[in-house]
Structure 1
Amino acid sequence: MKQINLLALFLMCLCSSSIFAQKNKKMDIIAYYTGDSDLIDQYEVQQLNQIIFSFCHLKDGKLTVDSPKDSLTIKKLVSLKAKNPQLKIIVSLGGWGGCEPCSEAFSTAEGRLKFAKSVKTLSDSYKVDGLDLDWEYPAIEGLPGHLFQPADKPNFTALIKILRSTLGSKYELSFAAGGFQKYLDESIDWKAVTPLVNRINIMSYDLVNGYSKVTGHHTPLYSTNPKEESTNRAVEYLLKQGVPASKLVIGGAFYSRTWQNVENINNGLYQPGEHIQGVDFKNFASTYTEANGWKYFYDEKAQAPYWYNAGTKTFATSDDLKSIKAKAAYVKSKNLGGIMFWELTLDSPKNGMVNAIYEVKSAK
């Protein structure tokens, strides 16, 4: 009898440790993807839980695939699920500058229903698993010239409601949320929207951006001063709004933001400058070198890297392997839903940023 009890206890402990291990590793890795049907084969897709095809757009109020090339890409992504049972393929509406008609199209019940029905038709046709709304931004200014109005906030709620009722409970529904305070305060009715979506993809990057006249960390994990935007600041705000941790996905940046004419004060950090084109992560190793005049710094408080070139007075900010691992560890420590990033084609195909995230996810 004692042996049986010991055996039962052993099996129970084994089962518990297995469940605990699985719980620790439950962290979705989500890739936005702008590439074509061939390029995806270069990447370690087996490490991903979701690929979000970017982007579809509105045409006559309906969710529309832009071209035969995009159609082929979506079909290729869906075919990857045969070898990767955990993989879900999502289509995204919008993007920066890609949601110009959204405010008007979603301003009426008829417009919202028309869109929801078109999402179902497209999803059934391509056999995708869900929709990600990337409306930048409801109720506040996004791309200059795009319509935004106070009614966008309740209209966004109504849009989510009709999407959920039209598509059913098994359909993945998410949206890309601005990681900055004005969006968090003014764009979304968090209490109404949260129960209806699977996840909220926080764009915790571009927190200083192309419109910023002063340098800073564009995708920091933590704020270094009370006024500085950061990943943690957005997460803590949403947790206080009652958003479950499991629905929060933080963002990583696989690209740098760069400024020129930055004086050599504080190694270029928090200094005036003029924004210029940045660099993809896959080109960091050949660009940000000492031979090219660059010096690397890591802000331990922000958990964010930056580079300064005193010769050319140029400053750059991004995520890198160290900071993306810190973000992945943060996701695990906070029991968040996962980490997403912009975007897969900017990564090194092997042993890059995705692999760094996956290593943290897989570690015991």
Structure 2
Amino acid sequence: MKTLSGTIFQDVNNKKLLIRNTFRVAILSVLFLGTNTFKANCLNKPPHVVIGYIAGYDGLIDMNMIKSEKLTHLNYAFANIKNNRINLKNAATDTVNLKKLGTLKIKNPDLKILISIGGWTFSNNFSDMALADTSRKAFARSAVAFVEKYKLDGVDIDWEFPGLPGAGNIHRPEDKQNFTLLLKAFKEELNDAEKRIKKKLVLTIAADCSKDFLEHTEMYKAQAYLDYIDLMAYDFLNELPGKTCHQAPLFPSKTLNNNNSVLKSVQEYLKEGILPGKIVLGIPFYGHLYQLKSGARSVVGAELKSAAGTKGFTDIQDSLINSGKFQYHKDRTAKAAYLFSPQNQQFVTFEDEWSIRHKCKYVKDHRLAGVMFWEYSNDEKGILLQEINRKLKFR
């Protein structure tokens, strides 16, 4: 009996041990598979966002030009505001463009396409629209309905600028609080739409890089409603009136008596309590040309005669760099490229692969969300976009 009991207890203990071991194997298998699935998802998801703006106001867009697989987001610019509702100023071409944008998802199903509202030209009606709770909600509702109609993935607000005149726009002190309330109204409408269509929708803004912008907004509060803040960290051209300077230096230049830079702009945002993971660093895909006063002995910081316009990167490369009339220079302190023509006394400040490499490194080192660029058609050959992809290890 004792021997039998011992045998019975041993069998029972063996079964318990077997069950425990089987359970452990099952748990470890789940954890292993889950970890590998998580790793696979992380590997498939780009570590940084790459947001490009495409100008619809120029007419019909050649969709074959857009390399959707090299982007995470594409912002269509611009929709206007009319009677406190979203409005297409160029409805004939905008409608065609918006319908065709969906074809870009064939190559990149994860691409997010947003409608960008406002911009330098269409920001005049923001202040009036944002003045009352009812008009804010009505506008947000119309924009979200627009997103659903064209099967888009979200909204980009480009108000230039709350509390500031921009291009001579209507503005008022109340814009500071109303901007935040407008974003709150948008977030609520987008949340409701997500439940209806079972899809995540995105809300972003294009933000000025100046301290003036931060003083006229409540960015610390506003960030709660935003997925990303696209920082327009370029066009730093008015710091030294009448003299040449870089349009988007990463760091302050030793050559110039100013400290305007991408570094300064990002630091100002971080001081406001903006999360690094919300900040998307804007990069210009165009350059500014200037005519210098004759006999200029220096290039950066030289006296200007007049502005000679802007050119996209592809045009700069083909018509200026390859012409043999311009000398290529690097400001190694500022990490900014520029051209100088002794023959024509012209100065060109622009972005190239070298300067972009440094900006992408800065994004990674400071754990920013990624990069944004204006504007897609300025880089027709995709040289700058490819450099961004390569440095951010996207594609």
TM value normalised by structure 1: 0.89
Q: The residue matched to 1:161 in structure 2 has which SS?
A: helix
What is the alpha-carbon distance in structure 1 between the residues aligned to residue 132 and residue 320 of structure 2?
50
CA contact 1:252–1:340 (8 Å) conserved in 2: yes
Q: How many angstroms does 1:215 deviate by? A: 1.5
Change (3 A) 1:264 1:181: farther
Which residue identity is paired with 2:201?
Y
Q: Does 1:207 align with 2:236?
A: yes
Q: Does 1:65 align with 2:88?
A: yes
Q: Does 1:310 align with 2:338?
A: no
What is the alpha-carbon distance in structure 1 between the residues aligned to residue 45 and residue 243 of structure 2?
39
Equivalent position to 1:88, from 105, 112, 116: 112
Which residue identity is paired with 1:220?
P
Which residue identity is paired with 1:83?
K
Which residue identity is paired with 2:353?
L
Q: Does 1:276 align with 2:299?
A: no
What is the alpha-carbon distance in structure 2 between the residues aligned to residue 211 and residue 101 of structure 1?
31
Q: Does 1:176 align with 2:197?
A: no
2:279 corresponds to which residue? Answer: 248
What is the alpha-carbon distance in structure 2 between the residues aligned to residue 211 and residue 129 of structure 1?
41
CA contact 1:37–1:77 (8 Å) conserved in 2: no
CA contact 2:236–2:261 (8 Å) conserved in 1: yes
Equivalent position to 2:247, from 209, 215, 218: 218
Change (3 A) 1:51 1:101: same
Alignment of 1:125-274 (within 5 A): 125-143=149-167, 145-168=168-191, 170-184=200-214, 186-208=215-237, 212-224=241-253, 227-262=258-293, 265=296, 267-273=298-304, 274=306
Q: How many angstroms does 1:216 deviate by? A: 0.6
Q: The residue matched to 1:99 in structure 2 has which SS?
A: coil
CA contact 1:307–1:315 (8 Å) conserved in 2: yes
Which residue identity is paired with 1:161?
K
CA contact 1:329–1:360 (8 Å) conserved in 2: yes
1:28 corresponds to which residue? Answer: 49
Which residue identity is paired with 1:362?
K
2:16 corresponds to which residue? Answer: none
What is the alpha-carbon distance in structure 2 between the residues aligned to residue 271 and residue 134 of structure 1?
33
Change (3 A) 1:49 1:258: same
What is the alpha-carbon distance in structure 1 between the residues aligned to residue 294 and residue 239 of structure 2?
18
Which string of whole-angstrom CA distances, capped at 9 and with x for unpartnered residues, describes residues 112-160 of structure 1? 11111111211111111111111111112311x3112211111101101
What is the alpha-carbon distance in structure 2 between the residues aligned to residue 262 and residue 24 of structure 1?
51
1:297 corresponds to which residue? Answer: 329
What is the alpha-carbon distance in structure 2 between the residues aligned to residue 60 and residue 21 of structure 1?
44
1:354 corresponds to which residue? Answer: 385
Q: How many angstroms does 1:38 deviate by? A: 4.4
Gaps of 5+ in 1: none
> Which shifted more, 209-218 or 267-276?
209-218
What is the alpha-carbon distance in structure 1 between the residues aligned to residue 294 and residue 127 of structure 2?
41
Identity of aligned residues (%): 27
Structure with more relative contact order (C-alpha pairs < 8 Å, separation 6 or more): 1
Q: How many angstroms does 1:103 deviate by? A: 1.3
Q: How many angstroms does 1:265 deviate by? A: 4.6
What is the alpha-carbon distance in structure 2 between the residues aligned to residue 24 and residue 266 of structure 1?
50
CA contact 2:244–2:303 (8 Å) conserved in 1: yes
Q: How many angstroms does 1:100 deviate by? A: 1.1
What is the alpha-carbon distance in structure 2 between the residues aligned to residue 241 and residue 65 of structure 1?
35
Q: How many angstroms does 1:171 deviate by? A: 2.2
Which residue identity is paired with 2:234?
Y
Which string of whole-angstrom CA distances, capped at 9 and with x for unpartnered residues, describes residues 276-306 of structure 1? 2121111122222374521111111111101
Q: How many angstroms does 1:212 deviate by? A: 4.9
Which string of whole-angstrom CA distances, capped at 9 and with x for unpartnered residues, describes residues 219-243 of structure 1? 1111226842211211122122221
2:69 corresponds to which residue? Answer: 46
Which string of whole-angstrom CA distances, capped at 9 and with x for unpartnered residues, describes residues 71-122 of structure 1? 1111111232233122000000111122111111211212211111111211
Equivalent position to 1:331, from 350, 363, 385: 363
Equivalent position to 1:123, from 115, 122, 147: 147
> Aligned pair count?
354
What is the alpha-carbon distance in structure 2 between the residues aligned to residue 119 and residue 80 of structure 1?
22
Gaps of 5+ in 2: 1-20, 195-199
What is the alpha-carbon distance in structure 2 between the residues aligned to residue 211 and residue 53 of structure 1?
33
Q: The residue matched to 2:172 in structure 1 has which SS?
A: coil
Which residue identity is paired with 2:236?
L
CA contact 2:53–2:373 (8 Å) conserved in 1: yes
What is the alpha-carbon distance in structure 1 between the residues aligned to residue 43 and residue 107 of structure 2?
21
Larger of the two Rg values belongs to structure:
2
Q: The residue matched to 1:78 in structure 2 has which SS?
A: helix
